[in-house]
Amino acid sequence: MNIHLKNHKNKSFNVSKPGLRALANESGAALVIALLLMIAMISLVPAALQVTSSEFDRSENFSDNRELFYMAEAGLERGKSVVQATPLNELLAGPDGLVSATPSDAVNDDNGTVAGVGDTADNAPYTWNNVAYDDVAFNTPAGDPVGTYFFRVFDNGDDADITTDSDEMVVIEGVGLNAEGDTKTLNALVRRKVLLPGTMPGAVTLTGPTSIISVGGTGFNVYGADGTGGNGYALDGTSDTSCDGQEAVSTESDGTIQYVPKNGEASCTDPTCMAANATSYPSFSGTSGNSPAIETGQDEFTGLEAERMRDELIPQATVTYSGPKNFSGVTMGTDLAPEITYFDSSLKLNGSSTGAGVLIIDGDLTISGSLDFHGVILVGSCSTCGCPTCPGGLAGTGSAQIYGAMVVGNAVNATVNFTGSADIYYSCEGIGLAESIINNNVQFSTVSWYEVNN
């Protein structure tokens, strides 16, 4: 930039301004840089949008995955509650009663599914144990569907037989299904020790593939119910309307009963054999009204289950006696303080004895005096014990008064000898006293769980 000046002689000349020229040059450079930065920023917008979209997708996928996980987990938790309350062999059969299969051995049945079969709109849910099972729906507060879950139970492959359980462990499979059709599957291996069923099959339950019932007279009675299709008994001997009656005797051995004369046990050849006079038969009364009221082929409480129950309860025994015992009277718990009493050999009771809770005898039980007991008596439930009289049986009943249930036998056989003037009553109250002391010992645990790749 040039500026014209005049001197005192009025002559003009030019003066140059280098700083102003530099300022003009810098302003142009700044404009170029600004334009370049703007172009660079604009070029980053698509990438930023893509990153934001990817993050949104990942966040949405995480949310969906979490919802599916929670739904599958809800299926597992529902399955656990059912496993705790239902015989495992029933669960393995599933609602249709067919064999449950592992995923790799799937067959054309419901595969043990007990919830989530179909949907609430198909009007054809499975009915199992008089309960209709369908998938369980999750909805938003506005009622919009989020998803459903179902679960199934199958054998853990502990042996070659997937139709029955032999180690008290099964697999629960929970499946979550969202509204878009995505699924997540969780499997849990659970272990359940059920020490005592809520009901017993009979006032006297005989376990094992063979059983012999000997009857020495008509002075005893075994009451499974107060009449045909009737109730069980309260602890005072009255009818308990809250308790469904059972048969007098329920035996695991199958087939028809072979009747032989009194003291004719040597001629018994069939799995279930009764040696008695015909006049003894009315002493067995139960819900069927038959005389005698004996159920064969029961599978609600087997010899294997009796041995498991014994094995689980012995470590929890309140009192343990070693070697054969001959008591002239003993107290084995009360109604207010029931106990688990364990004898590792034979027991003979003379005089007057009382008890409440659970009584376990590995050898023979002989009641020569009187026994007033409320609860569950387990006799000879050990097929491998080393005591001289094992596996043990009920050798005589004297003048016993038993309210609850009696289990005799193991996975091999059962022998009972009803004598004297004993009265054995099927009583839910008596069984409840036994349950009250062992329920705290029922163990349920998750052994392992894992997510199945869908």
Q: Which pLDDT value is given to residue 146?
A: 76
Where do runs of H (alpha helix) occur along 141-182?
none
Nearest Cα residue to 431 out of 199, 105, 271, 99: 199
Task: Judge if 173 and 211 occupy the same domain.
Answer: no
Say if 12 falls within a structural domain: no
Read off the amino acid at residue 58: R
Q: Which pLDDT value is given to residue 331?
A: 95
Distance CA 377, CA 401 (A): 12
Q: Which pLDDT value is given to residue 49?
A: 64
Residues of the chain with pLDDT under 50: 3, 5, 102-108, 116-124
Task: Judge if 212 and 339 occupy the same domain.
Answer: yes
Q: Which phi and psi (to 5°) does residue 143 adopt?
A: 95, 0
The answer for residues whose C-beta is within 8 angstroms of residue 78's C-beta and 6 or more apart is 115, 136, 149, 151, 174
Distance CA 380, CA 346 (A): 9
In which domain, by residue range, is 310 found?
Answer: 202-440
Q: Which pLDDT value is given to residue 113?
A: 61
Q: Which pLDDT value is given to residue 42?
A: 76
Mean model confidence pLDDT for the chain: 81
Task: Judge if 185 and 206 occupy the same domain.
Answer: no
Task: Judge if 386 and 425 occupy the same domain.
Answer: yes
Nearest Cα residue to 400 out of 435, 350, 363: 350
Distance CA 226, CA 229 (A): 8
Say if 58 falls within a structural domain: no
Residue that terminates a domain, selected from 193, 220, 251: 193
Say if 368 falls within a structural domain: yes
- Tell me if 237 sits within 8 A of 440, measured CB to CB: no
pTM here is 0.63
Beta-bridge partner residues of 186: 174, 451
How many domains in the chain? 2
Read off the amino acid at residue 367: I
Q: Which pLDDT value is given to residue 300?
A: 84
